[in-house]
Amino acid sequence: MKYLYFIISIMLLFLTPACASGVTSSASQDELAEPYRVALEELISTDTALNADMEYISLVLNEGVPLKNSDKQVIEEYLQKKYNVKIYNYTYEQLIEEKLYEQDQTMLKGILLTIEKQKHSDNRNEMTIEVSKYRANEGAIALEMKLAYQDGQWKVVDYGMMRQS
């Protein structure tokens, strides 16, 4: 009987860390999306006139942006909850095809957010992300943001305007 308790104790000793590492990896999954979420939030809060009466947010990732579908889903769920609008993954052309624009096709009914590219620095707690927001031919902005992991969270520490119309 003591032998059985010993075996069960050993099994629990090995299984507990395995279960804990599963929890950690799902938590770190959210962390992979976090700098991108922070960058998009900063972008949305810049030039808020572009956000007026938006009916949707369309989020597009350019090739080379290392986000998995699960990372993208975390960001989409956050945006949907915060702004209470539909979330699409349509390019500009697809938005036009779906007739998600105002009467004259020069202004979208929502905003198109694009994560254009990212660059990691030698310091794994820093990265640069290029993002853009489009609403109309005369209503668009693109920013290059430098983010840093400080005090347990990602923060925008600097950004520069790349384009504005």
**Each residue's pLDDT tens digit, 3-33:** 544 455 555 445 444 444 333 333 343 478 9
Kindly report the pTM of this predicted structure. Answer: 0.78
Q: What is the DSSP letter of 101?
A: B
Please state the domain extents for the chain. Answer: 31-164
Please tell me the distance from the alpha carbon of residue 109 to that of residue 150, in angstroms, as a whole number. 36
Categorize the per-residue pLDDT at 106 as very low, low, confident or very high, splitting at 50, 70 and 90. confident
Please tell me the distance from the alpha carbon of residue 13 to that of residue 160, in angstroms, as a whole number. 51
Token pair of 137 as six digits: 């031919």
Q: What would you measure as the largest C-alpha separation in the chain, in angstroms?
A: 81
Report which residue type is found at 7.
Answer: I
Predicted confidence (pLDDT) per residue in 117-149, tens digit: 988 788 889 999 999 999 998 889 999 999 999
Please tell me the distance from the alpha carbon of residue 91 to that of residue 112, in angstroms, as a whole number. 8
